[in-house]
Chains A and B, each alone.
Chain A
Amino acid sequence: MQAFLEKAVSLRFEIAAVVLFGIGFMNLLLQNNLIKKIVAFNVMDSSVFLFLASQGYIEGRMAPIVQNGVTDASQYVNPIPAGLVLTGIVVSVSVSAFFLALVQRLYKHYHTVDFDEIMMMAKKKVD
Chain B
Amino acid sequence: MKKNTWKAFTAWVNGTAEESRPLRREAGQSAHEKHPLFHLNEEMRVRLFRWEYRAVALIVCLTVVAVLLFTVFHLPLFGEPNNPAVNEVVERYVEKGLEETGAVNMVSGMILDYRAFDTFGESSVLFLAVTSVMMLLLRDEKNISAEEDIQEAHERIIEKEASDRILQKVVSLVMPCIFLFGIYVVLNGHISPGGGFSGGAIMGAGLILYGSAFGTDKVREIFTMKTFRRITSSALLCYAASKAYSFYTGANGLPTGIPLGTPGAIFSSGLILVLDICVGMVVACTMYGFYVLFARGEI
Contacts and interface: CB of A to CB of B under 8 A. Distances in A.
Contacts of B86: 58, 78
Interface in B237-295: 263, 290, 293-294
Q: How large is the interface on B (under 10, 10 to 19, 20 to 34, 35 or more residues)?
A: 35 or more
Nearest to A4: B73
Contacts of A108: 143
A125 B54 CA distance: 25
B78 A14 contact: yes
B118 to A, nearest CB: 6
Contacts of B21: none
Contacts, number: 165
B104 interface: yes
Given A12-B78, A29-B57, A71 B94 contact: yes
A84 B111 CA distance: 8
| Interface of A: prevailing SS | helix
A65 B290 contact: no
Nearest to B56: A29
B72 A15 contact: yes
Contacts of B80: 58-59
Contacts of B133: 97-98, 101
Given A11-B78, A26-B61, A98-B132, A90 B125 contact: yes
B78 A54 contact: yes
Contacts of B192: 65
Nearest to B110: A83
Given A64-B94, A104-B294, A10 B77 contact: yes
Given A14-B72, A86-B111, A101-B294, A65 B197 contact: no
Given A91-B122, A102-B136, A120-B46, A14 B91 contact: no
5 contacts: A10-B78, A22-B68, A64-B93, A82-B107, A87-B111
Interface of B: 46, 50, 54, 57-58, 60-62, 64-65, 68-69, 71-73, 75, 77-81, 83, 85-86, 89-91, 93-99, 104-107, 110-111, 115, 118-119, 122-123, 125-126, 128-130, 132-133, 136-137, 143, 192-193, 197, 263, 290, 293-294
Which 4 A-B residue pairs are closest in the complex by CB-CB distance?
Answer: A94-B129, A22-B65, A64-B106, A26-B61
